[in-house]
Structure 1
Amino acid sequence: MTSISPTRVSMYDFLYQDIQPLVPLLADAAQLSLPQTHLALGASLQAIVSTLLSYQQLHQGQAVRKKLFGRSAVKELRQYNSMNFATIKATLYHRHDAASALFGDSARVIKASERIATQIDATTPQAQTLLTCLCVIVLRELAILTDYSQLDNDEMNKWFALQPQFLSKARFTTIEPIGPVTLTDTDDEDANVEGDAVPTKSTMTRTEDSSLESEQLKTERLESSQLDSDQLISTPPPFDSYWYELTTFKPDNHEPVQDMQQATANYLKVIGRSSENTQQGRHNDLLMFAQMPAIALPHQRWLLQLAKISDIYLHRNRLRITSEPTTPPTPPLVSLGLIGGNNDNTPATTSETPIKYDAPLPLWKNPIILIIILVIGSLGGLATLKYQMKKSNGAIPATVVVLKQDLAEERQQQDVAIVKVNDEDKTRDAEANQ
């Protein structure tokens, strides 16, 4: 079984870690220092993510896909497979168009830039340049992520509905570094042995049991509350609720709705969340979300696929500063077997039911084409039948009558002879008659 951090489906966490390699280029474009850019990156992403959630709340996922992720600026920027001066130049060219489409009002952009500038001790134009550049990059990255995850409009809306819990204060307060394991009161009582007393056999046994319990407790705490080290890298700063006020986003208390079939023991066994299946080899590579405080996610196939692609992209370090590759990198592919493909006759949930499209009817089964062929055939049959009836009754077609008349006229014209009489012969005949 492979555990994936729940923050792999968080827009805020994904973007914050994904854009880290771009900090030098962004600092150069906005004429900021590296510490200022690091500080402004978190605040700018908070403003952009909050604005994006507000946009989706008003227009839904279909408008986000078409009007934001499908913009010409995003399509042009997706042609670049690495980040360098050429990429940042294209970003600077399209930054105003992307920012105006996302925020909808230039006054909001200026107001957000002023707040960011006061936090990093910079000027408003500098903060505005950084914020608008990030608008283009954020739309590009999320467009790539949703494209290769093959999210439809309904899944897009569900994904956006899960985002407020990643920005809640409870989520950031529960993430604390794990320190040394403290002993409980019973452990203290067991440990408070008289210093001068010689350890007896029972005391030594009790001490060994206590050490074993403490080791087990430590292991359980590490397994339950500590994620992989690479998943804790670049943890974003806590979210500032001021951006909700600026963007007029109203976070709803969204609880992921589990299908009833997901609660069955058979389904839990298939996706690898049952203790009965932990030792079976064919289920060891199944994907699942690791537990994380204040985060509740449904174990649905599209969400696991999105998390896996996000994890692959972050490990590739796609936005590192380098020259454009000669061949573009291949998009990540996720095997359906890792997400829960199996040979068991398990009832599929609503989200896992594949979309079945109606196959196009063949031509010989299309009723419209059959009607056209029938009409043409009947008219042709009627014409043939009428011709045969006239022929059998001795009726001569009009064309034959016209041809015979033309031939008769030709013959009459050919029988006429033109005779030329001489004038002398005419006078001689007249005299003779007299």
Structure 2
Amino acid sequence: MTSISPTRVSMYDFLYQDTQPMVSLLADAAQLSLPQTQLALGASLQAIVSALLAYQQRYQGQAVRKKLFGRSAVKELRHYNAMNFVTIKATLYHRHDTANALFGDSAQVIKASEHIATQIDATTPQAQTLLTCLCVIVLRELAILTDYSQIDNDEMDKWFALQPQFLSVGRLTTIAPVTVTDAVKKDMSIEEKAAPSESIAPEIKDPSLDSERLVSNQLLSAPPPFDPYWYELTTFKPDNHEPDNHEPVQDMQEATADYLKVIGRSSENIQQGRHNDLLIFAQMRAITLPHQRWLLQLAKISDIYLQQNRLRITSEPTTPPTAPLVTLRSIGDNDDNIPIATSETPIEHNAPTPLWKNPIILIIILVIGSLGALATLKYQMKKSNGAIPATEVVLEQDLAEKRQQQDTAVIKEDDADKN
């Protein structure tokens, strides 16, 4: 199994790590120092995520997709694949309209900017520049993430409902420290003894240890704790967004049952195909995530997107990077030649239909032929009824006169020969 951190589906964690490469560019745009920008970055993302959750709570995921992720400013910014002065210039142009649409009005934007300015010892216009620029960038990044993951409106609402868990302080304080088990110690002693003779020692691994290490590594770069003030400012009610099941599932077989059912994998064929690359969420206290396929796919794409470091400051690439593709085969890192299961066999597509068998082309030819036949029939009817155009009558008269002149000339020539 391949474990992935639950924070990969956290908007706050994703955006905080995603925007780290462009801190210096944001500092230059807002005329702030790097320490000020780093502090303001966390507070601004908290305000934006809270405003986004409040917007979804009022209008649901379909409005978020159309009114926020589908804005012209977001579409224009998606044409850029790197962060530089050209990209930040386009961001500065659209920042006011985008921020007002997200927060509801300019008054809330000013209140949020004042609160951030007091925290970083800066002026309100400086904090407002940083906040409004991040509004455009955040909507762009989330629009790309949802587009690549291909989640629908119902899944969008479920994704938003999971976010308040990641904003609580409980997940940052209740993580147990990583400990080395006796099995791992024994394994390490075996390897040390076998190293001089270059013998191969048996590999003993503790799955829970890998899970704890993964979560601990993610928490090393965790964003600052969330400030509940932003809930008050944006009038977001986290109690209405909590998932139905608050208790974490301890049994991993029970936790992955729905996921196995969705993708067609079960315990009967677990040894027949490439099932040891099953992607699951690592255990994380105070966090409850359903093992649904769309959510795991979103987490994997988020992980790939962060590894690409798309927001690094560089010139625009000549060719845009390709969208990450996550399939059942690319979920894991196993490349063994085990026969695939029936549920993983590729779909065989039929050969393309020849042109002469294409019904659309046949219909077009039939319509053209029918119109031509109707035009010919109509012309013959007009001709038989004497309704021939005047131009044709004149032409027939001219032909008749020419024939008469030719006949007269022939008769005269015959008379001249006789004489």
Q: Please indicate, yes or no, whether the TM-score normalized by the shorter chain is above 0.5.
A: yes
Match of 2:323 among 324, 331, 336: 331
Size of the aligned set, in residue pairs, is: 345
- Cα 1:265–1:2, aligned 2, differ >3 Å: closer, same or farther? closer
Q: 1:154-206 CA distances to partner (integer Å, 9 max, x unpaired)? A: 11111111111111232222246546889xxxxxxxxxxxxxxxxxxxxxxxx
SS of 2:221's partner is coil
Q: Does the aligned pair in 2 maintain the 1:271–1:339 contact within 8 Å?
A: no
User: Could you tell me which residue of structure 2 aligns to residue 235 of structure 1?
Assistant: 222
Shift in Å, 1:265? 11
SS of 2:288's partner is coil
Superposition map of 1:101-120 within 5 A: 101-120=101-120
Q: 1:32-62 CA distances to partner (integer Å, 9 max, x unpaired)? A: 1111111111111010001001111111111
SS of 1:326's partner is coil
- Cα 1:304–1:153, aligned 2, differ >3 Å: closer, same or farther? same
User: Could you tell me which residue of structure 1 aligns to residue 156 of structure 2?
Assistant: 156
User: Could you tell me which residue of structure 2 aligns to residue 380 of structure 1?
Assistant: none
Does residue 1:322 correspond to 2:309, yes or no?
A: no
Gaps in structure 2 of 5+ consecutive residues: 183-203, 333-339, 345-358, 372-380, 388-419
- Cα 1:345–1:330, aligned 2, differ >3 Å: closer, same or farther? closer
SS of 1:283's partner is coil
- Cα 1:104–1:84, aligned 2, differ >3 Å: closer, same or farther? same
Shift in Å, 1:345? 6.3
Q: 1:99-124 CA distances to partner (integer Å, 9 max, x unpaired)? A: 01111111111111111111112111
User: Could you tell me which residue of structure 1 aligns to residue 347 of structure 2?
Assistant: none
What is the alpha-carbon distance in structure 1 between the residues aligned to residue 342 and residue 56 of structure 2?
A: 38
User: What letter corresponds to residue 289 of structure 1 in structure 2?
Assistant: F
Shift in Å, 1:92? 1.2
Superposition map of 1:25-104 within 5 A: 25-104=25-104
Q: 1:374-414 CA distances to partner (integer Å, 9 max, x unpaired)? A: xx9xxxxxxxxxx9xxxxxxxxx9869xxxxxxxxxxxxxx
What is the alpha-carbon distance in structure 2 between the residues aligned to residue 269 and residue 240 of structure 1?
A: 39
User: Could you tell me which residue of structure 2 aligns to residue 343 of structure 1?
Assistant: 341
What is the alpha-carbon distance in structure 2 between the residues aligned to residue 264 and residue 101 of structure 1?
A: 38
Gaps in structure 1 of 5+ consecutive residues: 183-215, 347-361, 367-371, 377-386, 388-396, 401-434
What is the alpha-carbon distance in structure 2 between the residues aligned to residue 17 and residue 27 of structure 1?
A: 17
- Cα 1:10–1:83, aligned 2, differ >3 Å: closer, same or farther? same
Q: Does the aligned pair in 1 maintain the 2:145–2:298 contact within 8 Å?
A: yes
What is the alpha-carbon distance in structure 2 between the residues aligned to residue 148 and residue 181 of structure 1?
A: 40
User: What letter corresponds to residue 326 of structure 2 in structure 1?
Assistant: V
After the TM superposition, which of the residue ranges 166-175 and 36-45 deviates more from structure 2? 166-175
Q: Does the aligned pair in 2 maintain the 1:261–1:267 contact within 8 Å?
A: no
Q: 1:312-332 CA distances to partner (integer Å, 9 max, x unpaired)? A: 010111111111111111111
Superposition map of 1:30-429 within 5 A: 30-175=30-175, 177-178=177-178, 222-227=209-214, 231-251=218-238, 252=240, 253-255=242-244, 263=257, 267=261, 282-338=274-330, 343-344=341-342
After the TM superposition, which of the residue ranges 246-255 and 20-29 deviates more from structure 2? 246-255
What is the alpha-carbon distance in structure 2 between the residues aligned to residue 229 and residue 165 of structure 1?
A: 17
Shift in Å, 1:69? 0.9
SS of 2:214's partner is coil
Q: 1:308-366 CA distances to partner (integer Å, 9 max, x unpaired)? A: 111001011111111111111111111233559x73569xxxxxxxxxxxxxxx779x9
Shift in Å, 1:268? 9.8
What is the alpha-carbon distance in structure 2 between the residues aligned to residue 265 and residue 3 of structure 1?
A: 14
User: What letter corresponds to residue 321 of structure 1 in structure 2?
Assistant: I
Q: Does the aligned pair in 2 maintain the 1:256–1:298 contact within 8 Å?
A: no
Q: Does the aligned pair in 1 maintain the 2:82–2:314 contact within 8 Å?
A: yes
- Cα 1:268–1:139, aligned 2, differ >3 Å: closer, same or farther? closer
**What is the Cα-based RMSD across aligned positions, in Å?**
4.4
User: What letter corresponds to residue 343 of structure 1 in structure 2?
Assistant: A
- Cα 1:64–1:244, aligned 2, differ >3 Å: closer, same or farther? same
SS of 2:3's partner is strand
Q: Does the aligned pair in 2 maintain the 1:82–1:325 contact within 8 Å?
A: yes
Shift in Å, 1:224? 4.5
What is the alpha-carbon distance in structure 2 between the residues aligned to residue 338 and residue 256 of structure 1?
A: 30
Whichever of the two has the greater Rg, that structure is: 1
